Structure 1
Amino acid sequence: MKYILDRAYANEILEWAYKKNPGPWYNHSINVAKATELIVLELRKCGHELDVNLAYNAALLHDIGRFKGFTKSVVHSYDGYMYMNDLGYLGNAIICVTHSFPCKNENIENAAEWSLVPDYMKKQLVEILDNNSEYDLYNQVITLCDALADAEGFTILEKRLVSVGLRHGTNFNTSLHWKGFYEIKNELEALIDKKSIYSLLPNIEKSIYANIDY
């Protein structure tokens, strides 16, 4: 499965997308990549063979579908998948989708504003998730980091999830969706000798005192 390994190329794509649709998603993407790199480096210290550049670039481009515009739904995940797949990077394309679904084998309708997603997109998203139901470490770390970083920097899960819920809406199954992030956090912490993920992210404590975006 092919991924982008060149950071300069990944940055070029991000800059292009930002010019198409400027917004806070740009700084969020950079911070997700930074958090991903820090966690992957810790996993490497504990013996896990991971490519730091692969992880960083995949995290940097996880929301690349935003180049088409703003949406409260997972349409950006579909758009990102199609764009990265067209470039020939299936690994990056899959992460554009999986980062939106933290629970393995979860009901795809748990996603906020699922009703806004056209039927043809729903069908392909289901197929992508069905074919990639076992998340590897890259998928797990990037999915978690999507909830550990906002446009301002690193943040705790509770604050990030509430902020997204206030801005994008929630549904009956949102609590199950949120639970997935904590399950990934617990699994990753078990792999780094039970060290808190938060301890790897500089100045994360500052997020406690910052206002929640809504």
Structure 2
Amino acid sequence: MKYILDREYAKELMEWAYAQNPGPWYKHSVNVAKATENILMELNKNGYELDVDLGYNAALLHDIGRYKGFTKSVIHSYDGYIYFKKLGFPGNANVCVTHSFPNKNKNIEIAANWSLVPEHMKLKLVEILDKNRTYDIYNKVITLCDALADSEGFTTLERRLISVGLRHGTNSHTSIHWKGFYTIKNELEELLDMSIYKLLPGVEDSIYTKVDY
């Protein structure tokens, strides 16, 4: 599956997207990319053969669908998917969707403000997730890092999830969504044989700053 491997090209796309819709999502994306890079590099030290540039770029561009504007729902995932499909990068297109669904194709309806998503988009997102029943390690790392980074830097999973919940709301099924992140975190930490947080410089500083809401 084709991904963007050139970092300069990925940066150009991000700069263009940011110009269309400036916001904290840009710095968040940069930090997600840094976290992804750190984890992939550590996995390679443990014997894996992962393409760090592939992962970094996919992480950097995971929220590019926000170029169309702000939304509390996963509409940006759909917009990002369509954008990259047109550019001819189906790998990056898939990451735009998978990062919003840590439980893979399970409990799709509990995604953030699913009720706000137009029906044709829902059908397409379900189709995409159905084709990606098993997330590869890149999808898993990026999905987790999306929940470990904000616009200020790295943070704990608990702090990030609470912040998102306060800003976008929760429902009776939110805990299922959150468990998806912990499942991925536990799996990756087993592969790394260490805490994810050891790979996120300055993460402890986040506990001294206010929670965005």
TM range (shorter): over 0.9
Shift of 1:169: 1.1
Query: Partners of 1:104 and 1:71 in 2: how far apart?
Result: 21
Query: Partners of 2:73 and 2:47 in 1: how far apart?
Result: 37
**Counterpart residue number, 2:3:** 3
Query: Partners of 2:207 and 2:21 in 1: how far apart?
Result: 29
Shift of 1:209: 0.8
Contact 2:32 2:146 in 1 (8 A): yes
Query: Partners of 1:85 and 1:153 in 2: how far apart?
Result: 30
Task: For 1:196, give the aligned amino acid.
Answer: S
Q: Where does structure 2 lack aligned partners over 5 or more consecutive residues?
A: none
**Counterpart residue number, 1:158:** 158
**What TM-score, normalized by structure 1, do the two folds share?**
0.99
**Counterpart residue number, 1:211:** 210
**Counterpart residue number, 1:199:** 198
Task: For 1:82, give the aligned amino acid.
Answer: I
Task: For 1:87, give the aligned amino acid.
Answer: L
Shift of 1:158: 0.5
Shift of 1:162: 0.5
Contact 1:112 1:171 in 2 (8 A): no
SS of 2:188 mapped into structure 1:
helix
SS of 1:105 mapped into structure 2:
coil
Shift of 1:112: 1.6
Query: Partners of 1:180 and 1:118 in 2: how far apart?
Result: 24
Shift of 1:104: 2.9
| Aligned-residue RMSD, C-alpha | 0.6
Shift of 1:105: 2.9
Query: Partners of 1:92 and 1:75 in 2: how far apart?
Result: 16
Counterparts in 2 of 1:35-184, with a 5 A limit?
35-184=35-184
Contact 1:18 1:26 in 2 (8 A): yes
Shift of 1:171: 1.3
Aligned length, in residue pairs: 213
SS of 2:19 mapped into structure 1:
helix
Query: Partners of 2:48 and 2:125 in 1: how far apart?
Result: 29
| Sequence identity percentage | 73
Contact 2:105 2:126 in 1 (8 A): no
SS of 1:153 mapped into structure 2:
coil
Can you list the C-alpha shifts for 1:111-156, whole angstroms capped at 9, x where unaligned?
A: 1211100000000000000000100000000000000000000000
Counterparts in 2 of 1:24-43, with a 5 A limit?
24-43=24-43
Query: Partners of 1:153 and 1:85 in 2: how far apart?
Result: 30
Matched, 1:189 2:185: no
**Counterpart residue number, 1:22:** 22
